[in-house]
Chains A and B, each alone.
Chain A
Amino acid sequence: MGAKHEDGRRQMIWVEILSRHRDVVARHRCEGAEIRIGRAYDNDVIVDDPYVAPRHLRIYRSEDGTLIAEDLGSANGLYADDGADRQPRIVIDGDRRLRIGRTHLRIREASHQVAAERTVVPTGRLWPRALGLGGAVIALELVSAWLGETAEPQVSRYLLPVLLLSVLTLAWVSTWAVLSRIFSGQARFERHLVIALAMLLVFSVYEELCDVGAFALSWRVLADYSYVGAWALFATLCFLHLREIGPGHLKLKAGVVGGLAAAVIGAQTLAQSEMRAWMTQQSYLHDLKPPMLRIAPPQTDAAFFADAKSLQAKLDRARKEEPPVSELFSGFDSEE
């Protein structure tokens, strides 16, 4: 009986009807030497697809025991995976999808190996993490606003940005959750929230570091080009969300996100350099910090004025260049 039972299990075949996104829509348990699939009611598996023939497909076991799918002479034929070539018959392994009419099928034997079970991370465990990160982001935001406060403090000046930030974050996370639900079947709102908040915290810290660093190291580049790092962080954020949606095609995702980030950085750099040429005033470091944060050693007066003198050559070169075309025509008559 044991042998027969085992044989029966070996004979058992599952026919799965898949959605376009490869979700299983229906699963049929079949036994026997041959399974017939089609629209007619004398089939083992009935497919309600007008593009499927009444008797479309049969599955049988070959001499060596492998399963074969064979077209029974349908008008629309049999295709493998996303292939465009009509096949008379296809050797079945558990992962290959078949397409008849507009229906996707997957046929698996009882012996099909499935992946090991995943460890369950209870969503309850994610919420404290999200709350902690959110609290840190808001705290950093408030402290930063407070340290820049030079007028009478007003609650609205603190509350509004925090509310705005919260709403934007929720909108962002919801968008990813919806995308996630569409493409992977699960929203994973908590995970997306944790990703977004963690990156937001990193971003806030990064901005503060750039700000303080530009003063402390007397290195204005840090403040002028902080957007490069900001876009890189944004690209990382998008990549992490994409990875959460599905673990496949990671290199492609990284490439697309990285390429887009590089394009944006390039565009902003171009815009900034054009803006500089257009402006008459070159900016200097606008944010001073307390003297105790200074790290860079001071220049001597001789070195400072030597550097100031070196600007003369640059100015003299600029003097020779054609002035940029003025956009404003300012010709009017006057009396003197």
Chain B
Amino acid sequence: MRAAALIFALAAASAGVALAQSAPAPTQLAPNPAQAAPIPAPVSAPPGPVSSTAESVYAAAKPRLLQIRTLVESADRQSSIGSGLLVTAEGLALTNYHVVSQYALEPSTYRLEYAAPDGSRGPLKLQAIDVVNDLAVVQLDKPAASFFEFEPRALAGTLPKGERLFAMGNPLDLGFTIVEGTYNGLVDYSYNAQIHFSGALNPGMSGGPTVTVDGRVAGINVAKQTRGELVSFLVPVEYAVALIERARRNAPLTPADARAEITRQLTDWQAGLFQAVGDKGFRPSTFGPYRAPESAVPWLNCWARTNADAIPKPRALVATTNCSSRTSLFIAGDLQTGQVDFTHSLVRGVDLNAFQFAAFLSRQMQPVWLGSWGKKRLTQQRCHEDFVTFAAGTDRPLLRAVWCARAYREFDGLYDVSVSAVTEDRDREALVSRLNMRGITYENALALGRRFLGAIEWAPSTKTAGGK
């Protein structure tokens, strides 16, 4: 559960903390934003005096930075803001998908606009998106006088931990800012590659560049961990280079095709992810008299918890293992997808009778989704439940299994599926297992769910003792 909270916190960070700001930003900015911001907002200035390196890095980067705004078409006011960076002479700019997601999903309600540090503004055309890595390429209405280059060592993956980096963008609509921090390699236990950057990223800086001392891009600002201090995340530049290449090669994304494109990218991505889960397979893990499947993929983050030390002494002991992927894809402000997690809880009655134990178990079987999302994007959940026996072997306990699924309204063929089971062979001991899969095709969910339930069995030593 701790891991789930972690993911949720991360998701909340990448969604952009909601800070109501309806007034347009001051457009006339002094050359040095640190001097030009007498606002007592510590977030807008890096800690300590601005180093001379930062000064020169910012001076070089300034004409290549952008603020990307999403405006409500009818009101002509900004609804959300982010940052961007110019990457080609023709005027292609890079930003996060989540910065332009409102426009991508609702092109008739929103429009995109850029604001440069020199005060110029203009419309943006959405050129290409990569929802998996949270990137988007937009086209300016004019060519770029100068643009960013990518750091070769970042592309080769040879940046050393501890290297000094500078993140830039327009946090909280306060003005363009440069923040110093350090490169800390790729995040562990993540299916999607993400760079751990130890520096202060703030809402509004999403889509901005993080550069080396030479001013070359080492990563794209994307998220921060709300539970930590200075724990921020960057998108590796290899994905940015690939997307720019795709944007140049292909025709621009038409608004009508955006959803189909997102569907295609999500479908391909989940196929790879669940292929990996299937290929690595499950290894059995022992829980009291039972054995339950644990995925062997390396990118799951596992936590255990127990109520054994609770006061007053619990009347049933619960030992829980929960493994979840840190990866969560932002699709819209009210829709994130791609998480996988499974939980096994061994429940043992201490001084409960069979009925009381069953009542206790009922509480363990409550449905759990990772967050609850609106009806706008997801259909109602539908469930099937019954007692299930696996024909394949006699070394398996009888299960009471529940299959629940809901469909994504906008993305054909994708579903959230939760499959849970509780063993039904003992009066005062049971294993409660659950596998949650978000943004998965139905076929993959069926195949994986069946493997998961089919791998719940008696531990070898209890094989003869158990069952009826």
Q: Which 9 pairs of residues, A with B, have the shortest CB-CB distance? A: A336-B16, A290-B354, A147-B355, A298-B387, A335-B204, A318-B379, A315-B407, A298-B389, A335-B203
- Binary A-proximity of B356-400 (CB < 8 A = 1, otherwise 0): 111111110111010011111011111111111111100000111
User: B453 to chain A: which residues have CB within 8 Å?
Assistant: 301
In the complex the two chains form, is B425's CB within 8 Å of A291's CB?
Answer: yes
Give a binary string over A190-219; 1 marks a CB under 8 Å from any B CB, 0 the rest: 000000000000000000000000000010
A312 near B363: Cβ-Cβ < 8 Å: no
A225 contacts partner chain B, Cβ-Cβ < 8 Å? no
- Chain B neighbourhood of A218, CB < 8 A: 385-387
B21 and A336 form a contact (CB under 8 A): no
Is B164's CB within 8 Å of the partner chain A? no
Q: Are A305 and B16 in contact (CB under 8 A)?
A: no
Within 8 A of B (CB), among A125-156: 146-152
Report A304 CB to chain B, min CB distance, Å: 5
- On whether A312 and B442 interact (CB within 8 A), knowing A291-B427, A319-B379, the answer reads yes
B312 at the interface (CB under 8 A from A): yes
Q: List 28 A-B contacts (CB under 8 A).
A: A146-B356, A220-B385, A280-B375, A281-B372, A281-B380, A282-B380, A282-B404, A286-B365, A287-B358, A287-B362, A290-B354, A292-B354, A299-B386, A301-B392, A301-B454, A304-B386, A304-B388, A318-B380, A318-B407, A321-B379, A331-B79, A332-B18, A333-B19, A333-B80, A335-B16, A335-B80, A335-B172, A336-B99
Q: Closest Cβ of chain B: how far from A309's Cβ, in Å?
A: 6
Cross-chain contact A281 with B367 (CB below 8 angstroms): yes
Cβ–Cβ < 8 Å partners of A299 in chain B: 386-389
**A305-B449, A326-B375, A333-B22 known; 7 other A-B pairs, CB under 8 Å?**
A148-B359, A280-B406, A284-B402, A304-B388, A307-B386, A315-B382, A315-B415
The distance from the CB of B176 to the nearest CB of chain A, in whole angstroms, is 14
**Nearest chain-A residue to B424 (Cβ)?**
A291
For the complex, what is the distance from the CA of A331 to the CA of B355, rounded to whole Å? 48
Q: Which residues of A contact B402 (CB under 8 A)?
A: 284
With CB as the reference atom, state the residue of chain A lying closest to B19. A335
Q: Which of B20, B316, B400 contacts A332 (CB 8 A)?
A: B20
Given contacts A277-B380, A301-B454, contact A150 B315 (CB under 8 A): yes
Say whether A290 contacts B389, CB under 8 Å. no
Residues of A within 8 A of B343 (CB): none
A336 to B375, CA, bound (A): 24
Residue of B nearest to A286 (CB): B362
Q: How far is the CB of B62 from chain A (nearest CB, A)?
A: 20
Query: How distant is the Cα of A222 from the Cα of B398 in the complex, in angstroms?
Result: 23
Contacts A326-B374, A334-B80 hold; do A294 and B424 have CB atoms under 8 A apart?
A: yes
B358 touches which one: A289, A307, A318, A336 (CB < 8 A)? A289
Closest to B414 in A: A319
From B82, B373, B406, A336 is in contact (CB under 8 Å) with: B82
Query: CA separation between A334 and B15, bound complex, in Å?
Result: 9
A137 to B207: give the CA distance in the assembly, Å.
67
Interface members, chain A 296-336 (any B CB < 8 Å): 296-302, 304-305, 307-312, 314-316, 318-319, 321, 323-324, 326, 330-336
**Total B residues in contact with A, Cβ cutoff 8 Å:** 90
Residue in B206, B352, B356, B450 whose beta carbon sits within 8 Å of that of A301 in the complex: B450
If the complex has contacts A281-B367, A308-B403, are A326 and B376 also in contact, measured as CB distance less than 8 A? yes
Whole-angstrom CA separation of A307 from B384 in the bound complex? 7
Q: How far is the CA of A301 from the CA of B454 in the complex (A)?
A: 8
Q: How far is the CB of B383 from chain A (nearest CB, A)?
A: 5
B151 contacts across to A, CB distance below 8 A: none
- Please tell me if the beta carbons of A296 and B387 are within 8 angstroms of each other in the complex: yes
Smallest CB gap from A290: residue in B: B354
- Kindly name the residue among A286, A314, A319 whose own CB sees the greatest number of chain B CB atoms within 10 A: A319
Q: What residues of chain B lie closer than 8 Å to A75, measured between beta carbons?
A: none
Interface: A288 (CB within 8 A): yes
* Residue A263 CB within 8 A of the other chain: no
Q: Are B81 and A336 in contact (CB under 8 A)?
A: yes
Instruction: Let me know if B173 is at the binding interface, CB within 8 A.
Output: yes
Judge whether B409 is part of the interface by a CB distance below 8 angstroms. Answer: yes
B405 at the interface (CB under 8 A from A): yes
Q: A280-B381, A288-B361, A335-B80 are in contact. Are A305 and B446 (CB under 8 A)?
A: yes
CB distance from A28 to the nearest CB of B (A): 69
The reply to whether B356 and A149 contact each other, CB–CB distance below 8 Å, is yes
On chain B, the residues within 8 Å of A150 by CB distance are 315-316, 352, 356, 359-360, 363
Chain B residues near A24 (CB, 8 Å)?
none
B203 to chain A, nearest CB (A): 4
List residues of chain B with CB within 8 A of the CB of A151. 315
- A99 shortest CB reach to chain B, Å: 65
Contact of A292 among B172, B399, B407, B427 (CB under 8 A): B427
Residues from chain B with a CB closer than 8 A to the CB of A334 are 16-19, 79-80, 203, 333
B390→A301 contact, CB < 8 A: yes
CA distance in complex: A304, B391 (Å): 11
> From residue A210, how far is it (CB to closest CB) to chain B in Å?
15
In the assembled complex, how far is the CB of residue A109 from the closest CB belonging to chain B, in whole angstroms? 69
Q: Which residues of B approach A to under 8 Å, CB–CB?
A: 15-22, 78-82, 96, 98-99, 171-173, 203-204, 206-207, 312, 315-316, 333-334, 352-363, 365-367, 369, 372-376, 378-392, 398-409, 412, 415, 422, 424-427, 442, 446, 449-450, 453-454, 468
Of A147, A321, A331, A336, the most chain B CB neighbours within 10 A belong to: A336
CB contacts (< 8 Å) of B206 on chain A: these are: 336
| Contact pattern, A 53-96, Cβ under 8 Å of B = 1, otherwise 0 | 00000000000000000000000000000000000000000000
Return chain A residues, CB-CB under 8 Å to B398: 291, 298
Across the interface, which residues of A come within 8 angstroms of B449, CB to CB? 305, 308
Nearest to A309 among chain B residues (CB) is B446
- Chain A residue with the shortest CB-CB distance to B373: A280
Contact assessment for A279 and B446 in the assembled complex, using a CB-CB cutoff below 8 Å: no
A294 touches B387 (CB 8 A): yes
Residue A285 interfacial (CB < 8 Å): yes
Within 264-288 of A, Cβ neighbours of B (below 8 Å) are at 276-277, 279-288
Chain B min CB distance to A58 (Å): 78
Q: Which residues from A are CB-within-8-Å of B16?
A: 334-336
Is the Cβ of A333 less than 8 Å from the Cβ of B20?
A: yes
Most chain B Cβ neighbours within 10 Å, of A148, A281, A310? A281
Nearest chain B CB to A208's CB is how many angstroms away?
Answer: 11
**A315 x B80 contact (CB < 8 A):** no
**Beta-carbon contact of B353 and A147 below 8 Å:** yes
CB distance from A294 to the nearest CB of B (A): 6
Q: In the bound complex, do residue B359 and residue A288 qualify as a contact, i.e. CB atoms below 8 Å apart?
A: yes
In the complex, what distance in Å separates the CA atom of A152 from the CA atom of B310?
13
Q: In the complex, what's the smallest C-beta–C-beta distance from B344 to chain A, in angstroms?
A: 17
**Other-chain residue from B96, B353, B363, B388 in contact with A298 (beta carbon distance below 8 A):** B388
Bound state CA distance, A157 and B316, in angstroms?
Answer: 20
Interface-central residue, B352, B369, B382, B426, by most chain A CB under 10 Å: B382
Contact A290 B427 (CB under 8 A): yes
- Identify the closest chain A residue to B413 (Cβ): A316
A282-B382, A284-B404, A319-B407 given; A289·B355 CB < 8 A? yes
